[in-house]
Amino acid sequence: MSERRVLPLTPTGEEPRLRADAVRNRARLLAAAARLAEEYGVEHLTMDAVANAADVGKGTVFRRFGDRVGLLQALLDHVEVRFQTGFLEGDPPLGPGAPPKERLVAFGIAALRHDYAHIELYLAAEGKPERRHLTPSLRVRHTHLVMLLRAAGTSGDAELLGQALLAYLDTSLVRHLVVQREMPLERLEAGWIDLVDRVAT
């Protein structure tokens, strides 16, 4: 039997580097957007409202984010930072220091809880299907899952298995199951543990 070959993770392209002043302007706009979303809800977040709150022209917001979906995806990445810090640098079992399989379990449960707490933002930021899989937050999550799957010695194509695990955590699916099917979040967490047990054996 041939030895299992580890396939390289397919590159997805790098985010363009921003000048220092552009970074400051972006942070200012995102802070204004986060404040508006918290006060009035994501559904009322518009490019005009962000421009007014940040005291800049609307054209500045469009140049920085492209459109409303681009703004929402940037805001989503802003919200993701705390979660990413948890699984990249935090305490085990979510962070480094625990066995890979335990980290996979902890990651899914933490992702379900985090995403459900910000569900309206996640759903609003999805945009067109061809854009949603290119968001930096999903790329980070996928890369992390692939790393854990490989560390756990999982057989098969870790990159595709990582996509399958991400599909379980899909925000629209979670909302459907919890809201429309009335499943408790704890049932989804138990299902994640079972899935990891089957995949990372």
Quick one: CA dihedral 193, 183, 117, 132, positive or negative? positive
Selection from 124, 4, 129 nearest residue 74 by Cα: 124
pLDDT in tens, 156-201: 899 999 999 999 999 999 999 999 999 999 999 999 999 999 998 7
Q: Band of the pLDDT at 108, cuts 50, 70, 90? A: very high
pLDDT of 81 over the 50 cut: yes
Asked if the model's pLDDT at residue 74 lies above 80, the reply is: yes
Range with lowest mean pLDDT among 15-19, 59-63, 121-125, 150-154:
15-19
> What percent of the chain lies above the pLDDT cut of 70?
86
Residue 168, both tokens = 């379980």
Q: What is the pLDDT of residues 8-25, one digit of tens each?
A: 655 545 455 556 777 788
Q: What is the DSSP letter of 125?
A: T
Residue 2 confidence (pLDDT)? 43
What are the chain's domains?
18-66 (1.10.10), 67-199 (1.10.357)
Distance CA(148)–CA(160), nearest Å, equals: 13
Q: Average pLDDT of the chain?
A: 87
Contact 154, 161 (CB under 8 A): yes
Taking residues 112-129, report their average pLDDT.
84
The pLDDT value given to residue 19:
66
Nearest Cα residue to 88 out of 108, 103, 76, 77: 103
Average pLDDT, integer, range 80-101:
95
Please say whether the beta carbons of 124 and 140 come within 8 A.
no
43 vs 188, residue with greater confidence:
188
